[in-house]
Structure 1
Amino acid sequence: MARLSTTFLLVLLLSSACSKRSSSDPCAGMMCCFQYTSILVQLVDAKTGKDLLYGSQPKIPYDSIRILAGDSAYKLPSWTDSANSAVRLNVMYPNITLRVSLPGKVSIMKLTTTVVNTSCCTSAATSMRVGENPVEVKPDKYGSFVIPFSTSASGKD
């Protein structure tokens, strides 16, 4: 009997704790201590569309890419989505800057993402602009933002 009473009390407490709030905003009063958006970025040859990081003959060494923040440059995270040939970036702000260092060429790419809230403390990137280009890049069917990139020193492969 005591076990049945304890179980009933536990179910009653859990169901009352999970009841719908009267506020129209389900996230009202919730504080998110750490929120970031995970985006997949794929660099492809501007002319051929071939993968520059992972393909059969990658032209950009993974270690040559840095995330710039203020006066610091950080290595790309070690986690990638190699199945989709993309680099997974976890960003806390809609603007990030990447530096790609190749022999005879250093490229700085400002990536501006449009982020929407998907639920309490989570969000998703819906589009991205590269540099000052007003054309937005949309994620492909795998969720990667495919960015054309020129590897030649002149930028004109």
Structure 2
Amino acid sequence: MTIKLGKNPKDFKKTLTVVSIDGVSDTLSITYIYRDPVQMAELLDKRAAAAAAEAEASAKAALEAEAAEAAATEQGRDAAAAPVKIPSIKEGYLAQAHAAANEVLEIATGWDVDDAFTAENLLVLEKEFPGALVAIQARYQQAVTEVRVKN
């Protein structure tokens, strides 16, 4: 076989097993986007930058809330008059699920499910097969690592 450079695939398929809450296993075939090592590093840099920006925004909001509380106390008002909004557990879960669905859409283009490959349907998959979105991402990482280990 002769090596031909510049012939990287556009995408590749991998199968994984997902398990429903009642323990029933099923297979899911995902079409992943091929990324060379530089493109993969760019994606990870983009995700790291987004996480850093989110952490910075959270820290800024906490400092602003603390300053507002201090100002209210200094002015003799009840600091509880301006309560800080703390996300509910449900809001936190939904934010994480939406982020995971969007991350899956960054690494994959389709699946062997009759329903469209959309963020909404990925969220339905996650509800019916808890942990499926993490499994999809882990399978991608495993596939990329497998190839590099074999070389």
TM-score scaled by structure 2?
A: 0.25
| Higher share of residues assigned helix | 2
TM-score, normalisation: structure 1: 0.24
Give the structure with the larger strand fraction. 1
Report 1 or 2 for greater relative contact order, CA contacts < 8 Å, sequence distance ≥ 6. Answer: 2
